[in-house]
């Protein structure tokens, strides 16, 4: 029996700091100079911010499409334009969710479902 519970967990890590403790061996800053390990933090933050931006844009598209639909007053051209906006917003939402789910499926099937696919780790020297 396949356990689907890890499939539906959300890995919300948010924006990561460079280093909370400079004496930590996993710290990416050595003697005040960022190392290649800091790339993990930068890439993770870019991915998190891009996801937040995509969700914001999709929400705005849904609101604009719904507003256009409600204010079309039966005008066929305005209704068609509003339906197009809603259609593309829905397609974008489906693509965004399916990309996340595909990565989770890959993580479960090939990587053991530990959620490591969303954690960028270059390894320690």
Helix (H, G, I), strand (E, B) or coil at 25: coil
Give residue 12's pLDDT.
47
Indicate the average pLDDT of the chain. Answer: 78
Examine the pLDDT at 26 and tell me if it is beyond 60.
yes
Give residue 98's pLDDT.
94
Q: Where does the pLDDT of residue 9 fall: very low under 50, low under 70, confident under 90, or very high at 90 and above?
A: very low
The pTM (predicted TM-score) of the whole model is 0.68
Task: Report CA 48 to chain centroid distance, whole Å.
Answer: 6
Q: Count the neighbouring beta carbons within 10 Å of the beta carbon of residue 12.
A: 8
Q: Which two tokens stand for residue 56?
A: 């914001």
């Amino acid at each position: 029996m396949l356990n689907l519970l890890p499939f539906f967990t959300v890995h919300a890590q948010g924006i990561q700091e460079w280093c909370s403790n400079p004496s930590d061996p996993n710290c990416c800053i050595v003697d005040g100079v960022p190392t290649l390990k800091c790339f993990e933090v930068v890439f993770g933050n870019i991915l998190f911010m891009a996801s937040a931006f995509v969700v914001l844009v999709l929400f705005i598209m849904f609101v604009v499409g719904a507003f256009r639909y409600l204010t079309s007053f039966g005008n066929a051209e305005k209704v068609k334009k509003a339906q197009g906006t809603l259609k593309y917003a829905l397609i974008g939402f489906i693509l965004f969710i399916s990309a996340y789910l595909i990565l989770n499926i890959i993580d479960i099937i090939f990587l053991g479902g530990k959620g490591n696919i969303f954690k960028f780790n270059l390894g320690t020297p």
